[in-house]
Amino acid sequence: MSTGEIHHRSCNLCEAMCGLLIEHDGRGVLGIRGDPDDPLSRGHLCAKAFALRDVYEDPDRLRRPLRRLQSGDFGEIGWDEALDEAASRIAEVQRSHGRDAVAVYQGNPSVHNLGTMLFAPQLVRALRTRNRFSASSVDQLPHHFAAWLLFGHQFLLPVPDIDRTDHLLVLGANPLVSNGSLMSAPGMRTRLRALRQRGGSLVVVDPRRTETAAVADAHHFIRPGTDALLLAALCHRVLHVHRPELRHLRGVVDGVDALGAALQPFAPAAVAAPTGIDAAAIEAMADAFVAAPRSACYGRLGICTAEFGGLAMWLVAVLNLLTGNLDREGGMMFTSPAVDVMARTSRGGFGRWASRVRGAREFGGELPVAVLAEEITTPGEGQVRALITSAGNPVLSTPGGQHLARALQQLDFMVAIDIYRNETTRFADLILPPRTGLEVPHYDVVFHSLAVRNTARFADRLFAGDPGGRDDWQIYAGLLERLAPLRGPVLARAAGLASRRLSPTRQLDFALRTGPYGGLGGRRLQRGALSVGALRRQPHGVDLGALRPGQLPARLQTEGRRVDLHPEPIAADLQRLAASLRPAAATSVAPDAEDDFDLRLIGRRGLSDCNSWLHNAPSLMKGRDRCVLLLHPDDAAQRAITDGAEVTIRSRVGEVRAPVRLSREVMPGVVSLPHGFGHGVQGASLRVAEAHAGVSINDLTDPSAIDALTGNAVFSGVPVQVRATATASAASAPG
């Protein structure tokens, strides 16, 4: 029987926020279970939760700052020395080469970290560089773009009311494996089963018959990169055959007729060939969406990371709106979180500046990370000469990763705030490793605001971590303080603020008390009002109720609180999309390529992966190696490739080798490789990951391919060639 104590905490490894019961003895973890009393996750957890323990114990995880030595190796140094050096090198580069010479890249775990959410923006602002990058532009940038354009705020993002809908149309997402994204909904299998038990239906559109597609009522293969065409056809049918149902938004929506006219080229019959879905099936898809009492269309990564990703996400929102399913129960709904992210972030903005080399437009204060390598390697004024990475591994996660790896070696200075010496951080002059996971307090500011039910939960740190160590926020605050005297008065002011700033937990307490459930809005403190103290007393989390309908138009932040369905950037992009339908169109949505890159590559996620960074967790790396290429048997036969053989995959930008698995899961003409692998590189120190190295899909993806509208990277449908690896060269390949 167990003897340990129980620590309550929600898992911060993905967006699902599962409530966990962590049994421990004060020094180590004895066991991890799902918390049945958590109001959102109701006992669900996945295998990755055990990686919280692996990361805590990992002997490869860094606990002290590392400095690169002359020999190229790393040596440990003290925190003060490391922070002093980082600040003075950054200041020096900005002094000599201007403020844009320092670039910043922030990776995915940033948004799962309270301290980073509160403190990183201050440092980034203080640097006043235009070269800000993040994982957003290899992920969900099109969602923010669509929300900004339609509703006036990049974080006014509706989520599917999955527990009440009658009809869920999913494009380019595999929530059964990813556990939901921009839709925190732990226990997806149970929720989808409940949908079908109450007579509802699930339709999935995906070039691969995924785990989610396998439990759907209908699955349609689609040619990668053509979802904007399909969505335009669905909206076309709603506008031209059914009637738009604007319900409570009737008085605030403009441009319905103009949109109808702009969608003329996209009748179902016109998009059937390029999408690979026949017209009757598209019509039926639209009709079923309209016919169901309450429907929700949810599009995610597979349609964001595409040539028309911005337009696709905008059309998803428009389809929901035109069918009366926006802002109503069972449709796409807005959350009412205890800490309002919208109130604390900028609304967004577009095209206020552009990247120096390619002229890619800024969105929300950031440039597309696909341009980072060229900004480092192209000489001239404003060239990037120093880089700060924080919780990111762009060598594995951004397009043309091997080009970026070469570019990083050209920098005058690089500092990485990270817990591992990995494929990216190995190039840093300094690595600053924060406490992480079970060693830090946790409240999910971002994902509580994207959850399918309003809840709140807080956890204090379970373990103290390295004595003398730093949390992420302390590293940011430390850099800000040190940069101030080295740089002008503006930064000095910002640093003064930062050093006087309260800890993230104190700031959270303030935000909760002054938030919608905090009771400080009224005249006196109400019983049961939220605060950190109140959440500590309710460790399973607090249920704040189902999502509430009818939040629009009040929450709109657009000009005059109106919604324009045919604004200029969309009008122009619809013309670009229409041009792609014309026979000689040179865009990559054309069904057949003339070159010998005759297959289309897509990515995938495995249940035990967490992008690139949990492959050093022993409990997740048992079993068969996962980095295999899925290839349709018909395509294999044409190329004389047999199951299990090693193949060479070539794209315009690179070449990798991987074992192949023949599978009818992928549609003919499409191949699939997971992302986040490619670990066996020199200079990294990840012993478990190295034993399951795999190859990086982003050595094949093309940094020149971005969505012209939003700048998001294009990963859906990379043109590739696949051949059996020639035996002689396989034998002579370096080990």
Ligand X SMILES: Nc1nc2c(c(=O)[nH]1)N[C@H]1C(S)=C(S)[C@@H](COP(=O)(O)OP(=O)(O)OC[C@H]3O[C@@H](n4cnc5c(=O)[nH]c(N)nc54)[C@H](O)[C@@H]3O)O[C@H]1N2
Q: Establish if 580 lies at the interface with ligand X (CB under 6 A).
A: no
Question: Which member of 7, 11, 14, 449 binds ligand X (CB under 6 A)?
Answer: 14
Name the minimum Å distance from CB 180 to ligand SF4: 8
Which tokens in the block code for residue 169?
């149309």
Name the minimum Å distance from CB 660 to ligand X: 17
- Give pairs for 31-35: CB < 8 Å, separation 24+: 31/2, 31/4, 35/8, 35/540, 35/541
Name the minimum Å distance from CB 435 to ligand X: 8
Residue 614 identity (one-letter amino acid):
L
**Residues in region 122-141 near Mo ion by CB under 5 A:** 139
Which tokens in the block code for residue 504?
């993230």
Question: Which member of 107, 160, 330, 515 binds ligand X (CB under 6 A)?
Answer: 107
Residues 246-285, one symbol each (x = binds Mo ion by CB under 5 A, - = not), give ----------------------------------------
Residue among 44 and 482 whose Cβ is closer to ligand SF4 = 44
Distance between CA atoms of 51 and 30, rounded to whole angstroms? 13
Residue among 41 and 179 whose Cβ is closer to ligand X = 179
Q: Establish if 246 lies at the interface with ligand X (CB under 6 A).
A: no
Q: Name the one range near ligand SF4 by CB under 6 A: 7-15, 165-173, 312-320, 561-569.
A: 7-15
Which tokens in the block code for residue 286?
């639209």
390 interface partner picked from Mo ion, ligand X, ligand SF4, none, CB below 5 to 8 A per type: ligand X
- By CB under 5 A, the count of residues binding Mo ion is 1
Distance between CA atoms of 607 and 189, rounded to whole angstroms? 13
CB 183 within 8 A of CB 192: no
| Per-residue 3-state assignment (H helix, E strand, C coil) for 23-87 | EECCCCEEEEEECCCCCCCCCCCCHHHHHHHHHHHCCCCCCCCEEECCCCCEEECCHHHHHHHHH
Q: Establish if 415 lies at the interface with ligand SF4 (CB under 6 A).
A: no
122 interface partner picked from Mo ion, ligand SF4, ligand X, none, CB below 5 to 8 A per type: none
Question: Which member of 54, 85, 100, 139 binds ligand X (CB under 6 A)?
Answer: 139
Residue among 223 and 604 whose Cβ is closer to Mo ion = 604
Distance between CA atoms of 342 and 104, rounded to whole angstroms? 23
Q: Name the one range near ligand X by CB under 6 A: 2-10, 123-131, 170-178, 727-735.
A: 170-178
Q: Establish if 15 lies at the interface with Mo ion (CB under 5 A).
A: no
13 interface partner picked from ligand SF4, Mo ion, ligand X, none, CB below 5 to 8 A per type: ligand SF4
Q: How many CB atoms lie within 10 A of CB 80?
A: 11
Among 245, 330, 247, CA closest to 296: 330
Distance between CA atoms of 392 and 401, rounded to whole angstroms? 13
CA atoms within 13 A on the CB side of 723: 11
Residues 469-488, one symbol each (x = binds ligand X by CB under 6 A, - = not), give ---x----------------
45 interface partner picked from ligand SF4, ligand X, Mo ion, none, CB below 5 to 8 A per type: ligand SF4
DSSP 582: S
Q: Establish if 641 lies at the interface with ligand SF4 (CB under 6 A).
A: no
Name the minimum Å distance from CB 20 to ligand SF4: 7
Q: Where are the alpha helices (DSSP H) in 241-357?
A: 256-262, 268-275, 279-291, 301-304, 309-322, 341-344
**Residues in region 20-49 near ligand SF4 by CB under 6 A:** 45-46, 48-49
Q: Establish if 455 lies at the interface with ligand SF4 (CB under 6 A).
A: no
Which tokens in the block code for residue 416?
């990485």
Phi, psi of 156, deg, nearest 5:
-85, 75
Q: Establish if 442 lies at the interface with ligand X (CB under 6 A).
A: no
CB 138 within 8 A of CB 715: yes
The single residue listed with the structure tokens 């990270």 is 418
**Residues in region 47-86 near ligand SF4 by CB under 6 A:** 48-49
Question: Which member of 268, 394, 518, 539 binds ligand X (CB under 6 A)?
Answer: 394
Which tokens in the block code for residue 248?
């409570």
Question: Which member of 207, 265, 368, 518 binds ligand X (CB under 6 A)?
Answer: 207
Name the minimum Å distance from CB 193 to ligand SF4: 17
Q: Establish if 179 lies at the interface with ligand SF4 (CB under 6 A).
A: yes
Which tokens in the block code for residue 204?
């999935």
Q: Where are the alpha helices (DSSP H) in 137-291?
A: 141-151, 175-178, 188-197, 211-214, 227-240, 256-262, 268-275, 279-291
Q: Where are the beta strands (DSSP E) in 282-412?
A: 295-299, 332-333, 350-354, 361-363, 386-390
Q: Establish if 609 lies at the interface with Mo ion (CB under 5 A).
A: no
Q: Name the one range near ligand SF4 by CB under 6 A: 13-21, 53-61, 204-212, 434-442.
A: 13-21
Name the minimum Å distance from CB 472 to ligand SF4: 19
DSSP 439: G
186 interface partner picked from Mo ion, ligand SF4, ligand X, none, CB below 5 to 8 A per type: ligand SF4
Grouping H, G, I as helix, E, B as strand and the rest as coil, residue 450 is helix
Pairing of strands 201-205, 102-106: unpaired
Question: Which member of 282, 306, 367, 574 binds ligand X (CB under 6 A)?
Answer: 306
CB 157 within 8 A of CB 184: no
Residue 88 identity (one-letter amino acid):
S
Q: Establish if 173 lies at the interface with ligand X (CB under 6 A).
A: yes
Residue among 139 and 161 whose Cβ is closer to Mo ion = 139
Residue number, nearest CB to ligand X: 302
**Residues in region 92-111 near Mo ion by CB under 5 A:** none
11 interface partner picked from ligand X, Mo ion, ligand SF4, none, CB below 5 to 8 A per type: ligand SF4
Q: Establish if 101 lies at the interface with ligand SF4 (CB under 6 A).
A: no
Residue among 278 and 439 whose Cβ is closer to ligand SF4 = 439
18 interface partner picked from Mo ion, ligand X, ligand SF4, none, CB below 5 to 8 A per type: ligand SF4
Residue among 87 and 370 whose Cβ is closer to Mo ion = 370
CA atoms within 13 A on the CB side of 262: 23
Q: Establish if 13 lies at the interface with ligand SF4 (CB under 6 A).
A: yes
Give me the sign of the Cα torsion angle 173, 178, 179, 183.
Answer: negative
CA distances from 446 to 42, 624, 627 (A): 20, 34, 30
- By CB under 6 A, the count of residues binding ligand X is 63
Q: How many CB atoms lie within 10 A of CB 520?
A: 16
222 interface partner picked from ligand X, Mo ion, ligand SF4, none, CB below 5 to 8 A per type: ligand X
Phi, psi of 516, deg, nearest 5:
-65, -20
Q: Establish if 423 lies at the interface with Mo ion (CB under 5 A).
A: no
Name the minimum Å distance from CB 716 to ligand SF4: 23
CB 617 within 8 A of CB 58: yes
Q: Which helix (H) or strand (E) holds 509?
A: helix 504-513
Q: How many CB atoms lie within 10 A of CB 47?
A: 12
Phi, psi of 160, deg, nearest 5:
-70, 135
Residues 282-301, one symbol each (x = binds ligand X by CB under 6 A, - = not), give ------------------xx
Q: Go through the chain and tell me how many residues it has.
A: 735
Q: Establish if 612 lies at the interface with ligand X (CB under 6 A).
A: yes
Q: Establish if 701 lies at the interface with ligand X (CB under 6 A).
A: yes
Which tokens in the block code for residue 652?
């315009």
Q: What is the CA radius of gyration of the chain?
A: 25
- List interacting residues with ligand SF4 (CB under 6 A): 11, 13-14, 16-18, 45-46, 48-49, 179, 186
Give the footprint of ligand X on this chain (CB under 6 A).
14, 107-109, 113, 135, 138-139, 171-175, 177-179, 181, 205-208, 210, 222, 224-225, 227, 300-303, 306, 390-394, 397, 417-420, 422, 434, 436, 472, 602-605, 607, 609-613, 675-676, 697-698, 701, 715-717
Which residues make up the interface to Mo ion (CB under 5 A)? 139
